[in-house]
Amino acid sequence: MPTARADGTIAFEQTSTNYRFLANDTYNWYVGAPGQAGTLASGTFSTTADPCPRITTARKRAAQMHDSDITGDGYADLLAIDIAGRLLLYQNGINSNPGRVPFSTSRSIGTGWSAAYGMRNVTMGDLSGDGVADLVAIRSDGALVAYYNNIGSSPAKLPFSSGTTIGSGWQSFTSIAVGDVDGDGYADVVAERSDGTRWFYKNRIATDPLHRPFSSGAQLPADGVAQDLNGHGPALADLNADGYADLTPGGYSLDLNRTPAGNPTPFPTSIPIVQPSSMAPALDGWSVGDYEGRGSSGIVAADPGRSGQLLYLKNPLDPNAQPTVIGSGWWSAAYTLVP
């Protein structure tokens, strides 16, 4: 706002009532005097010196809305692998279940998904950009395998019938995360090695002649994001509703995606997440997704503190948020959540 100095010059405080900083632009100013009608002076001023990049609001991308949506209804579902290697689908029923509890019953949609069958690092995301989540896994032989979701064409509504090998040599990675990092509508991969380095693989399925999503990766600069203390690896999910996947390992820390701000590196600097005390100890399984159709992702955690509970944290960015108990009997010895 403009302020008249005693010497007759005009000073400007580049803030407004609602915002700490004004966006770089040209503004009109007017100065009056108490008890005097009319304007004493007027003019324009520009704010262009601030080096911060202009942030534009991204539209919601299809893959970002459906990175954990198996059934295509716009709500993230939950996948778990039991001790026998069965893949269990918990369809989101938040709009129909009593008390708006999202997950009540499950059905088996596959077998042979545990480490005993050579499967590891199973995670989900919309690789093909068709609006439903696919599965990606690293096999014990180092093959990267995609299971494209065909729930719409399967008579038994089984989304994952067969896998397609889309890469080799992935045994050097200890974990992978799948999500739309660059906002183009196709889920990308961030892979983590045992030395703590992370690698970004952009999804090129729409332009590759053979429709292979991943061909080569680039190492991401170190950002201070700690590795998941429980060995589940990082996850990619849009936690701040800007349409771009953010990076979080185990819910312990967070690197908000700076792509919409024009930053050449999506994950330059991490910030800590204040976990509720009920979720912090021995979090043994977790998943991320937009479980309420809000446009941003929450965290579901299984068996924290060996309680057997299933907890839902609606807004991980809120330091005062407390989780809601949405299930029981989720012992880590019996179930592993698919992130």
User: Do the domain assignments include residue 268?
Assistant: yes
Q: Which helix (H) or strand (E) holds 242?
A: none
Domain co-membership, 157 together with 200: yes
The whole domain housing 129 covers 62-337
User: Do the domain assignments include residue 56?
Assistant: no
User: Do the domain assignments include residue 57?
Assistant: no
Give the count of domains, the chain. Answer: 2
Predicted confidence (pLDDT) per residue in 91-146, tens digit: 999 999 998 999 999 999 999 999 999 998 999 999 999 889 999 999 999 999 99
Domain co-membership, 133 together with 37: no
By C-alpha distance, which of 121, 257, 270 is closest to 191? 121
Domain co-membership, 23 together with 73: no
What's the N-to-C CA distance of the chain in angstroms? 48
By C-alpha distance, which of 232, 262, 256 is closest to 244? 256
Predicted confidence (pLDDT) per residue in 57-90, tens digit: 334 444 455 679 999 999 999 999 999 999 999 9
By C-alpha distance, which of 228, 337, 234 is closest to 286? 337
User: Do the domain assignments include residue 55?
Assistant: no
**Per-residue confidence (pLDDT) for residue 65, from 0 to 100:** 55
User: Do the domain assignments include residue 52?
Assistant: no
Domain co-membership, 38 together with 107: no
**Per-residue confidence (pLDDT) for residue 96, from 0 to 100:** 92
Domain co-membership, 37 together with 66: no
Distances (CA, A) of 143 to 75, 171, 219: 30, 8, 20
**Per-residue confidence (pLDDT) for residue 234, from 0 to 100:** 82
Predicted confidence (pLDDT) per residue in 166-187, tens digit: 999 999 999 899 999 999 889 9
pTM of the model: 0.78
Using 50, 70 and 90 to split pLDDT, how confident is the model at 277?
Answer: low
Domain co-membership, 28 together with 112: no
Polymer length of the chain? 339
Domain co-membership, 234 together with 285: yes
User: Do the domain assignments include residue 12?
Assistant: yes
**Residue 108's CATH number:** 2.130.10
Domain co-membership, 178 together with 219: yes
Domain co-membership, 36 together with 160: no
Predicted confidence (pLDDT) per residue in 29-60, tens digit: 666 655 566 666 677 766 654 333 333 333 44
Domain co-membership, 12 together with 82: no
Domain co-membership, 12 together with 92: no
User: Do the domain assignments include residue 83?
Assistant: yes
Domain co-membership, 229 together with 193: yes
User: Do the domain assignments include residue 272?
Assistant: yes
Buried-state track 282-310, b at ≥16 Cβ within 10 A, e below 16: ebbbbbbbbbbeeebbbbbbbbbbebbbb
Q: Provide the 3-class DSSP secondary structure of residue 103.
A: coil
